[in-house]
Amino acid sequence: MAGVGSILFSGKGVLIKLSFSYGTDSETLLALRMLMALPLFWVIYWWESRRKAMNPLSWPDLLKIFFLGFLGYFFSSYLNFLGLQYISVGLERIVQYLTPTIVLFISYFVLKKAISRLQWYAMVVGYIGVMIVFIQDASSTGINAWLGMVLVFGSACSYAIYLISSGEMVQRVGSVRLVVYASTISALLSLIQSTFYNPSAIFEQAQAIYWFSLLNAGLCTVVPMLLIMIAINRIGSPLVAQASILGPVSTVFLGYFILSEPITWIQISGMSLVIAAMWLLVRNDGIRKKSPNSSESDDFNKTESLN
């Protein structure tokens, strides 16, 4: 389940790239994806609410959820969609895969949490790997690769801040309710943005765009989220996080077979460094979680960031 979920998550970028080939824009694609995913999220919420009672939320809680929905689901996704216009899906997924390192950097510089020597080494290796893959994109797209890299890295930073900020809310609100509420906020914001950008755009797309958006919402968003959540309950976060290594690998090959993006030894070498670095971070985190002082919220955050 964890492996299949990671592969399905990675298909998102391929569907977005295919949609761009029809001349659509990021604002419309994001709105269509979120609006189509929204009913599915609420079905999950309804099913979860039948299993256990949901505590009422205060206004401060709702304001925090609004902030988290904007930062982690709307703004992060929007930057990601924009960045995919300029770089390959392989580089996009590898940069997103660095989210745990951004969480560590923020924890170190802002929250004053210690980083082990092994974690420092792993992060250095990971960023070297990203730069190697970036060279591959820059050789074919030039200055656009820099713009795409900055946008996707900004998306990863936005999601990392969301992960750190959501730890307390996950404990009090519950992971399913937080995801559903945050997704609802993202859907509303993306609809407002699309309406402001072009009021009739979501009704005037080619038929293929709607099919791609439906696949993106269901097969590459809601279904993998369910698979990952079930896998966490069955085998724990550390093993699920290790299975997520399949994500960037599958993206590179999907980009090759579907989008005709080249696969070179430079790209494979850089991707291998990134995967090895993230595996070290996951392994180190898994060992730490066995200690009596481990935190469930940290466990949840690390796994979510890897997917």
Distance (Å, whole) CA 32 – CA 191: 8
CB atoms near residue 4 (< 10 Å): 16
Distance (Å, whole) CA 209 – CA 219: 15
Mind listing the pLDDT tens digit for each residue in 176-213? 899 999 999 999 999 999 999 999 999 999 999 999 99
Q: Identify which of 298, 75, 305, 302 has the alpha carbon closest to the alpha carbon of residue 182.
A: 75
Cβ–Cβ < 8 Å for 99, 19: no
The pLDDT assigned to 288 comes to 58
Please state the domain count of the chain.
1
CA distances from 160 to 5, 18, 88, 125, 165 (A): 20, 27, 22, 19, 9
Mean pLDDT of the chain: 87
Cβ–Cβ < 8 Å for 101, 127: yes
Which structural domain range is residue 63 located in? 2-305
Mind listing the pLDDT tens digit for each residue in 137-173? 888 777 889 999 999 999 999 999 998 888 878 888 8
The pLDDT assigned to 286 comes to 55
Q: Is residue 34 scored above 80 in pLDDT? A: yes
